[in-house]
Chain A
Amino acid sequence: MASVTGADRPRKKIQRKRLAVAPYFVALLAVLAVLWVSALAGSGWKFPTPKLGLDLQGGLSMTLTAYQQGSDEPPTPETMEQARQIIENRVNSTGVSEPEVYVEGNENIVVNVAGDDIDEEALRDVGAPAELRFRIVTNSTMDTSALEDALAEETPTDEPTDGASETPAEETTETPAEDGSATPTEEATEEDTGSGQAPTTEDEDVTLDGVWEKVGPEAAAAAQALTAAPADEATMALLEPFGELTPAEVSLLPANVQFFVPQITCEQLDNRPPGAVQQADIEVVACSAPEPYSADDPSLTVSYKYLLQPATVLGSDVTSADVGTDQANPNMFVVNVQFSSSGAENWGALTAENTGSQVAIVLDNEVVSAPTIQEASTNSTQISGDFTADEANQLADQLNFGSLPTTFVVETVNEVTATLGVDQLEAGMYAMMLGLILVFLYSMVYYRLMGFVVLGSLIVATAVLYPAIALLGSQVGLTLTLAGVAGFVVSIGITADSFIVYFERIKEEMAGGRSARSAIPRAWVRARRTILSANAISMISAIVLYILAIGPVRAFAFSLGISTIVDVMIVFLFTHPIAEWLARGRVLNSRALSGLHTKTAPATGDAAAKG
């Protein structure tokens, strides 16, 4: 009755291009269903909850203590800040988990990570030195101790002799190195590093002399005289005490002793203090990761023990590393490494001189892989090991972020509670509730019936946002801090802007004398442009900040991106179709209800007010 002239005229045309609203709602429901199902799946079929930040739910606190080799002086503040940075980058490499990393005192770094389901092993690894070394293999032998132990548990009688007899057999094919002359110098250097490594052991004063004493003079003399694995029973028996040494004690022994004494197992070698094989200019011994001995039983594993030459190519020669898959075997993950110009030179020389021999890629105390050099190469190489995707990513991150300037040991790992009191969270929640009620009241007063569309849109936005946040929390570690929660509430307020742009457009069209039915599609065409342009800007900012920034800023970018996508989705899939749908009924043409009418009578007032 109100805008009779406007309503009558366009009816036919509008009906012809009447929007089919059903597909939009179906699409929206599909999105909702997919999000909720994935969120449920992500949380193990429980009601999905977002991952809360340190301030709201607490988490784990790890204290790393630095020690510098060969000195009792604490590291310089610059070194600590550099290390803090690298550790923060490593913790942050998943993108958005907002850890706290700070230096405490002058030699501790505290890493606080939110959550109650943290992989403690992975957390400990962020303190790993990540020293990469490329070393030519001079000798290798199979270490069957793990296999023997496993077999000894199962079938105590037969097998051990089998395993033991294998060790020498394996070795005869290798050429022993001329390491007799190298021994004295090694002793000196390793002793040096020894005092720095002390903090990890109970006995503060482990020295090489102490170790020789512990194994006894005959064993010491026999071990030092070895230039190949002992073949006779008498020597084997004599060397028995070496099996009892602690990893720290083992790390003090000269490389040839570590290598040739069969009683020194890979377990002992792997557990040497961090940085035991870090020194580039000496010969060292390291083991490969255990691999299955036979395909039948994965619990039976063997490792290879390698005697390695001094390193000429180091982790610092690597400029970038990324994860790829093995060309021959797409299920195998590899890490592709690019060398700097000087690194490429060294690597070229190394591969050219040693074509045909094995090069061991040593990360910290372990040989990651030991491929045979097929031909000389320069710029890049591929590290293949038995990586899972996660392990490959972690290694690539560690290489990218660089190795720590000093060595750290994990001192404590503690559970910590939330930093903010429960009252803060509650107050925040009340404030948000209050805010949303105010928003709703305002839209009801202003847009009347359309206020319900605003409310509906906000509810749908929440229904989309919640599982999305929960899903991202379980998948990529998106963490909600109190500030983050507040940010999302504010973003919902900003989301409402899209509706307002749209409704104001409708009002404008209706002020021109159209009925709601005719005004709504026209207004949509125009409002859509505005909404897309404005949201494109939010999206640009989210993407740029996410790619370039780190830490809390990156987490913010992530949230901004999500809420922008949700905003566009809600306007397109919910607000617009529902407005179209409402326009077919009578309510929107009723002035008292719709809140979209700006004129009291058709064709009056316009000129008067404008003039």
Chain B
Amino acid sequence: MSTKQTEKRPNVLSQLYRGETNFQFIPNRRKFYIASGIVIAALIAVMIVKGFVLGIDFAGGIQYSVPASGTEASLEDVENAAEDAGAEVASGQVAGTGDGRSYIVRVGTMDTDAAAEVRDSMAAAAGIGADSISVSEVSATWGAAVSKQALIALIVFLVLVSAFIWIRYERRMAIASLGALAHDIIITAGIYALVGFEITPSTIVGMLTILGYSIYDTVVVFDKVQENTAQLLRSRHQTFAEAVNDAVNQTLMRSINTSIIGVLPVAALLFVGVGALGVGTLKDLALVLFVGMVVGAYSSIFLAAPWVVDLAERSAAFQRHNKKVANARAAGGEDKSEKPAARAEDDEDDDRLELAKTDEIPLELLEEPVKSGSGARSGPSRPSSSRPSGAKKRKRR
């Protein structure tokens, strides 16, 4: 096994396995922002230009009622005939029994000529006159009220979840997780538009699953970030950005594992849905879930956590802290022994204590806003921009 190797640089997989990777997620965050920005812009363009294909549940369609008492043809034959004539069959049912038996086939919207063609094709397959097939337009089953209520529910949900994250964690994380959520939804919807699958109720349900999953995944990462940074301002060995980068690296394996285990069944669904069946409910759902879960995992690590860093570094407290770290490093370059000592790792029963400490320091208290907007965007590499306010405050101490 690779884990047996205890040389200086074990390979990446084994580092991953140990949670010892040190990928530079935070320092490279601009690249990820740009990459996501480009993808989002491209997909929004796709959505605008290409639009979505609405399924029968949203756009309505045409219903054919084929009398089946006098025909040998099966429902499948009739459905195939409709598909051969170019119709997108949404559902096929056998209704009634005995003489009243009929095949009810619903297809997506078509113009009159195409609809007539489909009817003729079905009549030929069933061996009956085209006139005996009744054709009627059917409405959408997904009414405007369903969408409206869903939207209201969504807004209330987002408000509540933001409030929850704000209270449980902090405001910056609430903002960042909403941003990551928006990112995930846009990309998933965009890819859906790109592929051109029909929008069905399954798709919407898949989207909602993604919504929950995206926030869930982000919260798990934030939980670790919060834990790692709770006592950060008391020490001087790490900047906030570095601490977040560590946290992300430590939860990396968790994120990968979760995504793999979540995506495996979905991939199987997608594989079977597209490969073996051609069209179907499974395909719609699986594509949304597949894309959404992958993007959701990506955004928690590459976007949400960096955003928290960006937001945090707008505040004076963290800018001052960055400065301190820089000073400490400049002064005693080798002074790293502070870290293990402070951790007090030999204390067996420190769980409760550590937890108490974690919760004792509400980060809100540390967020003194910067007086001028000058240092707002400063990264860890540029602590100098925060000098004025930082220096002043330190003097007061």
Partners in one complex: yes
Give the interface of A toward B (CB within 8 A).
9-10, 13-14, 55, 58, 61, 80-81, 84-85, 88, 100-105, 108, 110, 412, 414-421, 423-424, 427-428, 430-432, 434-436, 438-439, 442-443, 446, 481-483, 486-487, 489-494, 496-497, 500-501, 504, 507-508, 511-512, 518, 522, 525-526, 529-530, 533-538, 540-541, 544-545, 547-553, 556, 560, 597-601, 604-605, 608-610
CB-CB under 8 A from A597, the residues of chain B are 3
Supposing A104-B136, A431-B273, A483-B281 touch, asked if A533 and B219 sit within 8 A by C-beta, the answer is: yes
Once the chains bind, are A415 and B97 in contact (CB under 8 Å)? yes
Query: Hey, which bits of chain B sit against chain A, CB under 8 A?
Result: 3-4, 6, 8, 10, 15, 17-20, 22, 60, 63, 75-76, 91-97, 100, 104, 136-143, 145-146, 149-150, 152-154, 156-157, 160-161, 164-165, 168, 201-202, 204-206, 208-209, 211-213, 215-216, 219-220, 223-224, 227, 250-251, 253-254, 257-258, 260-269, 271-273, 276-277, 280-282, 285-286, 289, 345-346, 348-349, 351-352, 355
Decide: A507 near B272, CB < 8 A? Known: A424-B282, A548-B149.
no
List the A residue with the shortest CB-CB distance to B61.
A102
Q: How far is the CA of A482 from the CA of B200 in the complex (A)?
A: 13
CB distance from B333 to the nearest CB of A (A): 14
The answer to whether A493 touches B262, judged by C-beta atoms less than 8 angstroms apart, is yes
Given contacts A431-B272, A537-B164, 11 further A-B contacts (CB under 8 A): A58-B93, A435-B269, A501-B258, A507-B18, A537-B215, A537-B216, A541-B161, A541-B215, A552-B201, A552-B204, A609-B15
A536 to B201, CA, bound (A): 26
SS class, residues of chain B in contact with chain A: helix
**CB <8 Å contact, B276 and A511:** no
- Structural contact, A489 and B265, CB atoms closer than 8 A: yes
Asked if A529 and B223 sit within 8 Å, CB to CB, the answer is yes
CB within 8 A of A419: which of B93, B138, B223?
A: B93
The answer for the CA separation of A526 and B156 in the assembled complex, in Å, is 30
Complex: how many Å from CA A428 to CA B20?
A: 39
Contact B349 A55 (CB under 8 A): no
B141 touching A496, Cβ below 8 Å: no
Q: Write the nearest CB–CB distance from A552 to chain B, whole angstroms.
A: 4
A533 in contact with B157 given A443-B261, A552-B146 (CB within 8 Å):
no
Contact between chains at A10 and B348 (CB < 8 Å): yes
CA distance A541 to B209 in the complex (A): 10
Whether the pair A100, B141 counts as a contact (CB closer than 8 A) is: yes
Name the contact of A534 in the complex, choosing from B208, B220, B276 (C-beta under 8 A). Answer: B220
Q: A436-B265, A482-B282 are in contact. Are A601 and B6 (CB under 8 A)?
A: yes
A497 near B261: Cβ-Cβ < 8 Å: yes
Contacts of A560 in B (CB 8 A): 208-209, 212
Q: B253 contacts A553, CB within 8 Å?
A: no
Name the B residues within 8 Å of A61 (CB-CB): 93, 95, 104
4 nearest CB pairs, A to B? A435-B265, A419-B91, A548-B153, A103-B139
A439 touches B93 (CB 8 A): no
**Contact residues in A for B63 (Cβ distance below 8 Å):** 104
- When A439-B261, A487-B285, A496-B261 are in contact, do A501 and B254 touch as well, CB less than 8 Å? yes
Q: Is the CB of B136 within 8 A of A428?
A: no
Question: Is B257 in contact with A551, judged by CB distance below 8 angstroms?
Answer: no
Q: Which of A414, A494, A551, A600 contacts B213 (CB 8 A)?
A: A494
B3–A600 contact, CB under 8 A? yes
* CB closest chain-B residue, reference A607: B340
Q: Do residues B272 and A430 form an inter-chain contact, with CB atoms below 8 A? A: yes
Chain A residue contacts of B348, Cβ below 8 A: 9-10, 13-14, 518
**22 A–B contacts, CB within 8 A, in A order:** A88-B143, A104-B139, A414-B95, A416-B93, A430-B272, A435-B265, A438-B264, A443-B261, A482-B282, A483-B201, A493-B261, A493-B263, A508-B250, A525-B352, A530-B223, A530-B224, A540-B157, A545-B208, A550-B150, A551-B149, A553-B149, A560-B209
Q: Are B138 and A102 interface neighbours, CB within 8 A?
A: yes
Give Cα A482–Cα B150 distance, bound, in whole angstroms.
21
Q: Check B219–A102 contact: CB distance below 8 A.
A: no
